Amino acid sequence: MTNLVRVGPLFQSEIMHQFSGDPIWGMILAVFSAMCYGVSAVFIRLGLRSLTPINASILSLATSLAVVLIMSLILEQKALFSISFPAFLVFGACGIIAFAFGRYFNYAGIKYVGATRSVTLRSISPFFATLLAVLFLGEAPSISVILGTIFIVAGVWIVVNSSYE
């Protein structure tokens, strides 16, 4: 463990040094991230046959925390224990909103309408962000945003009205 902790930051910095100049690694990581989330929702659907959404959310969040904490201790031990209070507050707020409430409602949705429907509906979140920007910041929507909104509305309508089994 001590060796790993010593090697950790070096390993991390080497990776960052190699990757930071090439956005292709960002794209590859993003696709793998989407794959992990996608399969995770399928596994949750299987788990929710016996567990309640609140139980499943707490257990899965605790598992996620254990995995990430171990990686953090190995790779960024110093930064973990020297995080500033404002940064702690910001990341903490992100966690409460996205992980506590976002994940609980996501699992409740999976329980009642299935993994594919729930994850599809959940993925319209950029639409809400854009809507807020248009309503409160006065941003003018681009053609891409208007087209995307039409696709989302049509897609949601089809998903909600498609036969459920």
Residues 74-93 that bind another protein (CB under 8 A): 75-76, 79-80, 83-84, 87-88, 90-93
The answer to the question of residue 114 lying near another protein (CB under 8 A) is yes
Q: Which of residues 122-141 bind another protein (CB under 8 A)?
A: 122-130, 141
Q: Which of residues 17-36 bind another protein (CB under 8 A)?
A: 19-20, 22-23, 25-27, 29-36
Q: Give the separation between CA 37 and CA 74, rounded to whole angstroms.
A: 23
DSSP type of residue 84: -
Closest contact distance (angstroms) between CB of 15 and another protein is: 9
**Is 2 or 141 the residue whose CB approaches another protein more closely?**
141
Cα-trace Rg, the chain: 20
**Could you give the 3-state DSSP secondary structure of residue 164?**
coil
Is residue 136 within 8 Å of residue 164, measured between CB atoms? no
Residue 117: exposure state from Cβ atoms within 10 A (0-12, 13-18, ≥19): middle
Interface residue with another protein, options 17, 135, 138, 144 (CB under 8 A) = 144
Closest contact distance (angstroms) between CB of 2 and another protein is: 19
